[in-house]
Amino acid sequence: MNRSLLALAIAGAVASPALAAAPKLTVYSGDFDAVSRGAGQPGGPGFALYDTRIEFDLQPGDNRVQRGGLPAALDASSVRLQPAGDATVRGQRFDFALADQDELLRRAIGQQVSVEQALGPGRETYTGTLLSAGNGLTLKLADGRVKVLSNYASFELPRLPEGVASEPTLSWTLAAPRAGKQAFDLSFATAGLAWRAEYQATLSGQGQACRMTLDGAAMVANRSGTDFDGVALTLVAGEPNRVSGGGYGVPMAAKSERAVMMVADAAPAPQASGEYHAYRLPGTGDLPQGSVQRLPLVDTAKGIACERRYETRSPMGSWQPPQPIIDANFNTQAGQQPVVASLRFANRKASGLGIPLPAGRMRLFDGADFLGEAALGHTAADTEVALETGTVFDLSAERRHEDFQLDRAGRQMTETVVITVRNAKAGAATVRVQEVLPRWTDWEITASSVPARKLDAQSVAFDLPVPAGGEADVRYTVRYRWAPDVRID
């Protein structure tokens, strides 16, 4: 499988001055569903880092400069403007997007406003200085009178109040020793951007004869409140810790009239990025506000060794008791339990894969037949993967408690359990029956109708062949023992 970037794309990217100066956008995985469903806000779901170089034409002394077109979900505390020359940054302020009507009026107190009030079929306009805004408006008119308007149709401001912008805006006070253009490196963090992996696995064969074809894409969502144009995009598979409550501001929608789609002809090779893996997309492109883009992530790999398995599990969890449980009625509930289909494969080169797999959703098919979906966590190379694909329609299982014997003097107890599996399929099936042995930590299978295999400290498995259109049983007896100093009730 080809897991490297196209050589020509890399060479072109390195040689291009435009790309060297392109803004960098690094989007971290996690929160994809939350970002996709709603508008971004500071401190909200999704996390990305933005880095770019900007220039300002400065005069000697202090200069007031601004930059708009920013995400409404920007974290104002993360903004850094670093001079590349001899200018200095004396102050910085972030003005959020246009506030709602109540906030706009509150900030306009002391300014001249014109207010329309409906009077019968007509309207009356009053112009004066806004004294208060709450349950109505209070104006000081030009002749000194004070007018209280308990209700009004509309109002007009001659200009936006201080601290309110038509779009999220950063303002700086820059001190320059001389006139001329100076470069600055601008960086900030923002919420409202996220990505996740989307995999498709096509299976053939059953049991350990299974073979899998796998490919993967990255779905990148932008709900930050602004477009990111001409950016060099890096996707990081990892979720750094973030402190909640650090956001400020109100979300605002933005619109991109024209966008250059992010493209790639092959999947990027993963590179180390701190404690995570990074995928650098070749070239540059646009991530418009409100968009979800699909980008190559994992090149198609064929012939991956896998195993398809049917499994049914005891309803008991993996809890370990503090002392032997000698109650005869413990864990004796009889009833149906589902048989699920699962897929297992080793993420190793020897199996046909062996690459880091970022977290995401995997869709599984048997040829053209859809089997189900499963969530895949961040998966390093050389690890085992187990995914459940769904409940099997034609297989069912029933568990019943058959016998329990307690020998206090001998400090032991025995229990017999039977699991019946029924197969309505046209062909035979092998079902792995997994049982938890929950009464005590010292146990031994003394008899079983099917060979038992120990899985861990408190569970065993039985591979049960079930004929087509028939049923089969697993019957096992387990003996628990405890030492003289172990207390029992």
Q: What is the pLDDT of residues 328-357, one digit of tens each?
A: 999 888 889 999 999 999 999 998 898 888
Closest CA to 23 of 69, 64, 65, 66: 69
Residue scoring higher pLDDT (203 or 133): 203
Q: For 35-49, 56-70, 187-201, which range has the lowest pLDDT when averaged over its residues?
A: 35-49
Q: Give bridge partners of residue 125 from the DSSP assignment.
A: 116
Closest CA to 234 of 193, 280, 199: 280
Q: What is the DSSP string of 111-137?
A: SEEEEEEEETTEEEEEEEEEEEEESEE
Burial of 128 (0-12, 13-18, 19+ CB in 10 A): buried
Closest CA to 290 of 257, 312, 331: 257
User: Residue 398's pLDDT is what?
Assistant: 96
Residue scoring higher pLDDT (115 or 18): 115
261 has a pLDDT exceeding 70: no
Domain 101-156: CATH architecture, name and number where available: Roll (2.30)
Burial of 132-160, coded b for 16+ CB within 10 Å and e otherwise, reads ebeeebbbeeeeeeeeebeeeeebebeeb
> How many C-beta atoms lie closer than 10 Å to residue 218's C-beta?
27
**Alpha carbons 253 and 443: distance in angstroms, whole number:** 63
User: Residue 11's pLDDT is what?
Assistant: 28
The domain spans of the chain are: 1-92+169-196+218-297, 101-156, 314-359+381-481
148 has a pLDDT exceeding 70: yes
User: Residue 105's pLDDT is what?
Assistant: 77
Cβ atoms of 424 and 395 closer than 8 Å: yes
**Alpha carbons 285 and 486: distance in angstroms, whole number:** 68
Q: How high does pLDDT run on average in the chain?
A: 84
pTM score: 0.71
Angle made by CA atoms 264, 269, 272, in degrees to the nearest 5: 130
Q: Give bridge partners of residue 52 from the DSSP assignment.
A: 186
**Alpha carbons 139 and 137: distance in angstroms, whole number:** 7
Residue 39 has, within 13 A of its CA and on its CB side, a CA count of 12
**Alpha carbons 180 and 43: distance in angstroms, whole number:** 37
